[in-house]
């Protein structure tokens, strides 16, 4: 399959697979895609008598775009990173890294050329490194220089003062700074799930997508009080409900729990206890639906469900007491709607 060919091309540098993919996609289409993504010094001369060309700067840009989902979707970027993490040719830049350091990379070797490029997931956060060499009399010099350079770059970043960061191999993403502190302070994996994308600037706001939430760094969030005051959550509940075409009529105050005139909905029973004791409006927002049996968009099973501006709560009766309220995977659903 094309997927298998791509994997062989990356992990063992299989030229037959690369030829298959180029013939299938077409070199003109590949060159056009590279130009569209700013790789202006890279060119695939597959049928002519010239060279296939690129530069270290283009490769740095490409790796950065893969690391930040800037070239293709976040899901496709993760698949590309996971493939490069399975690289089998590890005798160049990885030699200079501490054992066990995740390095998503691709090597290249041809005649007097030897290259290695990728994303290093260091304890202080990921960085991109590219080393390209040419006119080599033998490969020994490149091997020695690459491993030494890799070690120096790693040590440089490892010695720099930095805010705390945590790498999640489950999704090959890192969380740092106030986002990490907020993640720990308000429930971690159980509340937010794993990060599924890197930090990104969107319309001037720093955001990061998690399985169940979207973190946003805004100065106006300081008015909400609590710790890490500039961190807030995006309105994923409202966004996902809109994607699904869901809306609910306003209801009268039932006289129990807590009624929100802003949305005309109330929270009662187990949902109210969970909302009250786990962050309230700051984490979940106001309710936008009544509690009712609904089919979950995540697994197509029916649960007692209530939608909120920033969350979807579901009661899973098969789980142990105290853990039966589960937050829906709104981050994944909004990122990949169906």
- Contact in structure between 120 and 103 (CB atoms under 8 Å): yes
Residue 78: predicted pLDDT: 86
Q: Look-up: residue for tokens 């501006």?
A: 309
pLDDT tens sequence across 111-164: 889 999 999 988 777 889 999 999 998 889 899 999 999 999 999 888 866 666
Residue 184 in this model has a pLDDT that exceeds 90: no
DSSP 60-102: HHHHHHHHTT-SS-HHHHHHHHHHHHT-S--SSGGGGSPTT--
Question: Quick check: 337 pLDDT over 80?
Answer: no
Tell me the mean pLDDT in the region 93-97: 96
Condensed to tens digits (0 to 9), the pLDDT of residues 235-258 reads 999 999 999 999 999 999 999 899
231 contact partners, CB below 8 Å, separation of at least 6:
178, 179, 182, 215, 216, 217, 221
- Cα angle, residue 138 at apex, residues 132 and 144 outer, rounded to 5°: 60
Any bridge partners for residue 287, and if so which?
A: 308
> Phi/psi of residue 196, each to 5°?
-120, 5
For the ranges 129-133, 216-220, 222-226, 244-248, the lowest mean pLDDT is seen at 222-226
Give strand pairing partners of 305.
292, 314
Give the SS3 label for residue 335: helix
Instruction: Give the per-residue pLDDT at 273.
Output: 93
pLDDT score recorded for residue 201: 87
Q: Does 305 have pLDDT greater than 90? A: yes
Q: How far apart are CA 139 and CA 158, in angstroms?
A: 28
The per-residue pLDDT for 223 is 53
Compute the average pLDDT of residues 45-72. 86
CB 198 within 8 A of CB 324: no
Query: Residue 316, exposed/middle/buried by CB under 10 A (0-12, 13-18, 19+)?
Result: middle
* Nearest Cα residue to 152 out of 95, 88, 91, 87: 95
pLDDT exceeds 70 at position 101 = yes
309, 286 in Cβ contact below 8 A? yes
Per-residue pLDDT at 123: 78
Token pair, residue 42, equals 């890279």
d(CA 236, CA 207): 13
Residue 107 has pLDDT above 80, yes or no: yes
Nearest in space to 190 (alpha carbons), one of 169, 212, 165: 212
Does the pLDDT at position 109 exceed 70?
yes
What secondary structure letter does DSSP report for 278?
T
Kindly indicate the confidence band of residue 225, based on its pLDDT and cuts at 50, 70 and 90. very low
For the segment 256-279, the average pLDDT, to the nearest whole number, is: 94
Helices (H), 86-234: 139-159, 177-185, 188-192
- Residue 228: what pLDDT? 54
Distance CA 162, CA 176 (A): 9
Predicted local distance difference test score (pLDDT) of residue 178: 85
Mean pLDDT, to the nearest integer, of 314-324? 90
Do 269 and 291 form a contact (C-beta atoms < 8 A)?
A: yes
């Amino acid at each position: 399959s094309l997927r298998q060919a791509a994997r062989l091309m990356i992990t063992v540098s299989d030229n037959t697979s690369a030829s298959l993919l180029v013939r299938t996609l077409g070199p003109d289409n590949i060159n056009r895609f590279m130009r569209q993504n700013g790789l202006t010094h890279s060119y695939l001369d597959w049928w002519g008598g010239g060279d296939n060309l690129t530069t270290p700067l283009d490769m740095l840009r490409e790796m950065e775009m893969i690391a930040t989902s800037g070239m293709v979707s976040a899901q496709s970027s993760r698949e590309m990173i996971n493939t490069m993490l399975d690289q089998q040719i590890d005798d160049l830049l990885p030699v200079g890294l501490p054992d066990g350091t995740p390095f998503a990379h691709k090597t290249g070797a041809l005649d007097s050329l030897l290259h290695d490029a990728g994303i290093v997931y260091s304890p202080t956060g990921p960085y991109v490194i590219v080393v390209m060499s040419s006119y080599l009399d033998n490969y020994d010099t490149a091997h020695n220089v690459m491993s030494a350079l890799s070690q120096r770059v790693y040590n440089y970043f490892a010695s720099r003062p930095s805010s705390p960061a945590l790498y999640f191999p489950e999704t090959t993403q890192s969380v740092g700074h106030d986002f990490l502190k907020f993640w720990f302070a308000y429930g971690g994996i159980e509340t937010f799930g794993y990060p599924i994308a890197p930090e990104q600037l969107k319309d001037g706001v720093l955001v990061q997508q998690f399985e169940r939430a979207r973190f946003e760094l805004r100065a106006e969030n300081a008015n909400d009080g609590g710790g890490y005051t500039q961190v807030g959550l995006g309105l994923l509940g409202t966004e996902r409900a809109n994607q699904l075409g869901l809306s609910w009529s306003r209801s009268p105050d039932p006289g129990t729990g807590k009624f929100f005139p802003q949305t005309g909905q109330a929270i009662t029973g187990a949902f109210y206890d969970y909302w009250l004791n786990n962050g309230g409006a700051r984490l979940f927002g106001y309710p936008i639906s009544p509690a009712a049996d609904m089919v979950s968009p995540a697994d197509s099973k029916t649960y007692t469900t209530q939608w909120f501006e920033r969350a979807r709560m579901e009661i899973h009766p098969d789980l142990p007491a105290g853990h039966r309220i589960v937050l829906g995977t709104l981050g994944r659903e909004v990122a990949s709607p169906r």
